[in-house]
Amino acid sequence: MAETPATRNLALLHSPSERARDAARLLSERIPFVPIEEADTLVALGGDGTMLDALHAMLDTGRKLPVFGLNLGTVGFMMNRYAGASGVVERIGRAKPMAVRPLRMEAITQDGRSHRSCALNEVSLLRETRQTAKVEISVNGKVRIPELAGDGVLLSTPMGSTAYNLSANGPILPLDSRMLALTPISPFRPRRWPGAILPENSRVSFRVREPGNRPVAVVADQKEVRDVAEVHVEIAADMEMTLLFDPGHALDERIVAEQFVH
């Protein structure tokens, strides 16, 4: 197969699991991997956590390489099937690119400090104690829910819609939908509010009510900030990332298929 820009310089990243280490050794015997600083494409071995770690690392450094993931973890929703060390370069050459956009979060704590982070799956607000969280929700500056009482609330990207969002009974979003899922977590009031599907260009703000008695933490993927007073979230269109999938196994098809799994 002819060399393509995606296969010219490949870097390798793997999880610390024994399966991933063994696969990395076998792949390294066949492929002359380069340091990530010299790479055109990154090959990630592991599960969805490994993929998220790789994407976040690139967001932090500003070097956004296309990533071809091979599942050597548990779920592997964002990964391709691992079928041995042979043929990986050819698969990358045929792979379908899929653009994903992270959420940009700003959290302001009760002491007035500002914390910024990005999330590829979701930003979730969660009660810190046995006390129910009370959160005011605004969309584009307009208050939509004056007081949501419950365990919390989350805002999910299409890529993250099959993760925590789905567990909280939120909707599955096709990857190309350009939508966000706003989903309550164990809501007590409004009891029957199912959440909302919002356009991707929405700016969603959360204000914690009674933060002293009802403290709330916010989690952007793996990063947690405790005792928040306000949280503002929007899509970071300038930080678009690219995942590579085998034809017929792209993330958009998997999102559709997931809706028919029982």
DSSP assignment, residue 240?
Answer: -
Secondary structure (DSSP) of 179-199: EEEEEEEEEEESTT---EEEE
First to last CA, the chain: 40
Is 163 annotated as belonging to a binding site?
yes
Among 149, 148, 170, smallest CA distance to 161 is for: 170
Q: Would the annotation count 80 as a binding residue?
A: no
Q: Given the structure tokens 């956009």, which residue do they identify?
A: 101
Residue 95 is assigned to a ligand binding site: no
Does the annotation mark 176 as catalytic?
no
* Alpha carbons 54 and 168: distance in angstroms, whole number: 26
Tell whether 167 is in a known binding site.
yes
Ligand-binding annotation for 122, yes or no, is yes
Whether 44 has a binding-site annotation, put simply, is: no
74 annotated to bind ligand: no
Whether the ω angle into residue 184 lies within 30 degrees of 0, i.e. cis, is: no
Whether 164 has a binding-site annotation, put simply, is yes
Selected catalytic residue, list 22, 40, 48, 53: 48
In the numeric block, which tokens belong to residue 3?
């060399």
Binding positions for NAD(+): 48-49, 121-122, 151, 162-167
Binding positions: 48-49, 121-122, 151, 162-167
Supply the residues annotated as catalytic. 48
